Structure 1
Amino acid sequence: MACARVAACPLFKQFSMKSSLKVWQSYYCEGDFSRCERFKLASASAPVPKNLLPNGRVLELPLERLEAHHLE
């Protein structure tokens, strides 16, 4: 069963647009999403930084610029 927050997650769209990032989608969004740091924060009604990756790392580029860089 996939994560219920997939539709609202801005990273999910980025992952699905890039085949090399499908592993993230498969592992966190469609697999053990309870390990996703974004899911944990959202479930606790805490703010979720747009540039927070599921593994807890923070990207240096803001999400708005990620779309221009295609997460490369």
Structure 2
Amino acid sequence: MARCSRIASCPLFAQFAMKSSLRVWQGYYCEGDFARCERFKLASAGAAVPVNLLPNGKSLAVPLEQLEPKHMQ
């Protein structure tokens, strides 16, 4: 299965890996149909990617920084 070329630089990828409830997003978008990922589309077009943008195009109500464990900040 193809993996997204932007995994190493995507801040959400690390969040997905750390939260088992979000692993499904990682499997579907990052390690599967990444061409459907809205973050991938924006980054590929050279556009800024909002940190709270989810792969399906919706935005997190809580800024990503608030989701990160304190030891990662």
TM-score, normalization by structure 2? 0.89
The yes-or-no answer on 1:52 pairing with 2:46 is: no
Q: How many residues align?
A: 68
Structure 1 stretches lacking a partner, 5+ long: none
For residue 63 of structure 1, report the CA deviation from its aligned partner.
1.2
Q: Which residue does the alignment assign to 1:31? A: 32
CA distance in 1, matches of 2:28, 2:11: 16
1:66 counterpart residue number? 67
Give every structure 1 segment of 4 or more consecutive aligned residues whose post-TM-superposition deviation is greater than 4 Å.
none
Q: Which amino acid aligns with 1:11?
A: L
| AA of the residue aligned to 1:46 | A
Q: How far apart, CA to CA, are the structure 2 residues paired with 1:27 and 1:57? A: 16
1:15 match: 16
- SS at 1:51's partner residue? coil
User: In 2, Cα distance between the equivalents of 1:51 and 1:15?
Assistant: 13
Deviation, structure 1 residue 3:
0.2
CA drift of 1:53 comes to: 0.2
Q: Give the Å deviation of 1:66.
A: 1.6
Note the aligned Cα RMSD (angstroms): 0.8
Can you give the 5+ residue segments of structure 2 that lack an aligned partner in the other structure?
A: none
Aligned residue for 2:41, secondary structure, equals helix
